[in-house]
Structure 1
Amino acid sequence: MKILVVYEPGELGEALLSRLAAAGLEPTPLLLSRPSDVALDQLQSWVEPCFDLVINAITSVDAEQAEPVPQETRHRLHDLPVALAERAAFHAIAMMNLSSSQVFDGRKQQPYISSNPGNPLSVLGQCQWDCEQSLRSRLPRHLILRTGWSLERLQERVRSHDPSEPLCLSSRYRGQPTTWSDCARVMTAVVQQLDCGAEAWGTYQYAGCDTLSLYDLGLELLEELPETQRPHLIDEEDAWMRLEPANAVLNCKKIRHTFGIQQLSWRQVPAATKP
C-alpha cells in the first residue's frame, strides 16, 4: 500500500511515519511547516494517482489558541483536509483524517458514540465538525478518527503554570487522556487492516482507557514535578474550560469490534515532553 502522510512538525507525524515504515507500509512524507499558509492549489501536484491512501495527520487540540484566529483555524482544520479529500476522490484514493471530542457540547451524561451528532462549543470544534460533514459528502472511502484529551497539551499547561499562582482545574470536566504515541499506534493498526482489504470506512473514536476529571489528572501530573515547581491546585473552572465539553468521554467499542484495537492507559504509553 502506498500512503501519503501529510503532517507538520511534532510528535504525531514522526511517530506515525516511524510506525508505518516499521510495518512495511511505504509511507511518503509530506511535511507542511506552516499548514495555515498552504495554498490549496498546490495539492494537485501532491496527491498523485499512485497513492492508495492519504493520511492527514495535521490537527489542533487547543481550543483557547484557536478561538482568536478563526480564519487560520478553518484553513487548517477544514479547507486543507477538504481539498485533500476532493483531490483524493478525483483519483479514487481513500483518506484518513483526525477529529476529536471537541465536536461535542459535553451535555450528554453517557460517553459519546461515533454516530452522535456534533454540537461544538468552540471554533476548533466547529471546524472539525464541518470537516467531518464535508468528508462524508465528498469521499465514500473515508475514515475519520476522533481522539480524546491530548495528554501532552494538558501536561504543558500544568508544567508551564506559574508555581506562585493557583492552578484551576475543575472536577466537572471529564475525559480520557491520550498520547500522540498511542494515536500513532492506533492509526497504524487501522492502516494495516485496510492494507489487508478491510472496507471498514466511516467514523471511529479512540481515547485512552482511563476516564477521570481534569482535577484528578492535575493531581497526577503535579506529582511529576519537583515540589518547588508545583502550584497549588484548586477545583475551580478557569476561563479556557468554557470552550471545552464538560463530558469529553468517547465510547470506543466500535474501533475495538471492527479493528480489534484495545484502549491503553496513558500511564502505559510514553508522552512527549512537549506537545
Structure 2
Amino acid sequence: MILIFGGGGQLGQELQRTAALKAMPYTAISHADVDISDTAAVSQALSAARPSIVVNAAAYTKVDLAEKDPDAARLGNEIGPGVIAAACAAAGTPLIHISTDYVFDGSKEGPYVETDPIAPLGVYGATKAAGEEAVRKAAPRHVILRTSWVFGAFGANFLKTMLRLARERDELRVVADQRGCPTSTGDIAGAILQIAPRLRSEVYGSEVYGLYHFAGAGSASWHEFASRIIDAQAPFTGRHPKVTAIATSDYPTPARRPANSVFDCGKFIRTFGFGPRPWTLETDAVVRELFAAD
C-alpha cells in the first residue's frame, strides 16, 4: 500500500492514475483531508492506511505569493515534510519526498549534481531547502527526489497555460534566458512507483536512500519549451501563434527564478538502472492526451 500526501495536486493525481494502471494499491490524501503540518492528523493517516511506503507530493507551490506569505510556504514546504518524516520514522516506513530546482540560485555553468551547494533565491526555494533538511533529520529511510519544470495533464502548469494562450493570442512572449529540464508528471510518477519496491526491500533499501535529481532528459529554455508545445498543438487547432523570445528582465516577477535549472540525473540512473524520458517526447504525449480528452 502506497500512501500519497498531496493527492489533489498535479503529481498526486498522476500518481493515482499510474498506480491504478499498475494495479498497485494506494491511498491518496489531499490538503482538504489532512493538513500535513498537523502531527496528530498525519500520524492518524499513517495508522489508518498502514502503508508500506509514503510519497509526499504535497507542497506550497505559489512561488511569487510565497514572497508575501512566507508563513504559509513554511508550513507546506518545511514544517509539513518534517511532520510526515517523523511519522514515517516512528512507523518504520520509507518516505519519498519531492523537492525542486529552486533550492539552487542558477549561477552554475553546467548541470547541477546532488553535491552542489544550495543557495535559494527566494522564500519558496528556501522553504523547500528547509523541508529537505527536515526530512533528512527526521527520517533515515528516505529518498528526496529533486525535479524541475513540472508539467502534465492534471492541475495548472506551463504547458496548459501555453495551450490556453495559443487559442487566445497570435503572439506569445516567452523568457529565453532561463534553462531547465521540463519534466512530465507521468515520468515522475512512473519513476516513483518503479523505485518504491527497492525502498521497501530489507536487502536493498539502505543502499538507495538519499538525495537524487530526476528531471526530463535534455534541456530547454522556456522559449524552446513553449515552441515545442505550440508545434505539438498546431495539428489539433490549426493555429500557430508566433513565439517571441524575451529576457527575464522583460518579464519581472516578485520572486527571482534560477537562470540555470538543468539537472544531471546520472546518480539516479546509476542507482536504479533507468532514467527519465526526453522532455520533447513527453511534451508531445501530454498535448495529444489533452486534445484527445476534449
> Equivalent residue for 2:204?
198
Identify if the C-alpha distance between structure 1 residues 71 and 241 changes in structure 2 by more than 3 Å, giving closer, same or farther: closer
Higher normalized helix content (fraction of residues): 2
Is residue 179 of structure 2 the alignment partner of residue 174 of structure 1?
yes
Shift of 1:37: 8.4
Root-mean-square deviation over aligned CA pairs: 2.8
SS in 1 for 2:28: strand
Q: What is the TM-score normalised by the length of structure 2?
A: 0.81
> Equivalent residue for 2:59?
59
Correspondences of 1:1-275 after superposition (within 5 Å): 2-23=1-22, 25-33=24-32, 39-48=38-47, 50-152=50-152, 153-161=157-165, 163=168, 167-196=172-201, 197-199=203-205, 200-223=208-231, 224=233, 226=237, 230=241, 233-237=244-248, 238-240=251-253, 243-269=256-282, 270-271=285-286, 273=290
CA contact (8 A) 1:7 1:13 kept: yes
Shift of 1:23: 4.0
- Partners of 1:252 and 1:88 lie apart in 2 by 26
Alpha-carbon deviations, 1:205-259, whole Å to 9, x = none? 1111121112222222233255768365232221139621100001100110000
- Determine what percentage of the aligned residue pairs are the same residue: 23
CA contact (8 A) 2:36 2:84 kept: no
Shift of 1:167: 3.9
SS in 1 for 2:264: coil
Deviates more, 1:132-141 or 1:35-44: 35-44
Q: Is there any run of 5+ residues in structure 2 with no aligned partner, and where?
A: none
Alpha-carbon deviations, 1:169-203, whole Å to 9, x = none? 23221111111111101111111322444221000
- Partners of 1:34 and 1:159 lie apart in 2 by 31
Q: What is the TM-score normalised by the length of structure 1?
A: 0.87
Shift of 1:143: 0.6
SS in 2 for 1:204: strand
Aligned AA for 2:55?
I
Identify if the C-alpha distance between structure 1 residues 77 and 4 changes in structure 2 by more than 3 Å, giving closer, same or farther: same
Shift of 1:267: 3.1
Q: Is there any run of 5+ residues in structure 1 with no aligned partner, and where?
A: none
Alpha-carbon deviations, 1:92-134, whole Å to 9, x = none? 2221110011110000001111122211112211111001111
Deviates more, 1:71-80 or 1:5-14: 5-14
